[in-house]
Amino acid sequence: MKKVKFIMDKALEVGALISFLGMIAVVSIQVFARFALPKAPSWTEEAARIFFIYTASFAGGLAIKTKAFVYVDTFVNLLPAKIQKILSIVIYLVIAVFMGIVVYQSIGYIRIGVIQSSPALRIPMSYVFTSTFVMSFFIGLYSLIELGKTLISGGGKK
């Protein structure tokens, strides 16, 4: 199980890194073209947006894992450890259930994208819409993993 999780972590890290580097490269092309060429290529804005979406999609699950999502913990830290644990359990459970619903609904969304193409790149929008599935699947999965850790270890916020 640890090996599978390690591989999954690394795959998401690599996906986020490649997407981020792709976004940087495309934006650099656009900036160069705006200053050095008579006209910037129209596809760069769309490609940058798609790379940005995938960067967030790959990083979403990792953000749950590392507790990198922004949250207000001032009130939570005032609560007793047992209440913090219960609150963590409820939060991870709500996130997992909601992401499960999004995963299910994203399948129909991807099917719609098969018949549509992006305006500038002319790629099937299903490739872009798959990011919704990827993000919600991994956020839900990592929420379940964190829920399990919280149930086993105690899980009060530190």
End-to-end CA distance of the chain: 26
Q: Does the pLDDT of residue 158 top 50, yes or no? A: no
3-class secondary structure per residue, 121-138 = CCCEHHHHHHHHHHHHHH
The pTM score is: 0.89
Q: Angle formed by the axes of helices 81-114 and 125-153, to 10°?
A: 160
Q: Does the pLDDT of residue 156 top 60, yes or no? A: no
Q: How far apart are CA 58 and CA 63, in angstroms?
A: 9
Record the tokens describing residue 102, joined without a space: 């999004």
The answer to whether 78 and 157 have CB atoms below 8 angstroms apart is no
Q: How far apart are CA 84 and CA 11, in angstroms?
A: 32
Question: What is the pLDDT averaged over residues 77-81?
Answer: 91
Q: Does the pLDDT of residue 155 top 70, yes or no? A: no
Per-residue model confidence as pLDDT tens digits over 104-150: 999 999 999 999 999 999 999 999 999 999 999 999 999 999 999 99
Per-residue model confidence as pLDDT tens digits over 33-50: 999 999 989 999 999 999
Record the tokens describing residue 147, joined without a space: 């829920």
Question: What is the pLDDT averaged over residues 47-72?
Answer: 93
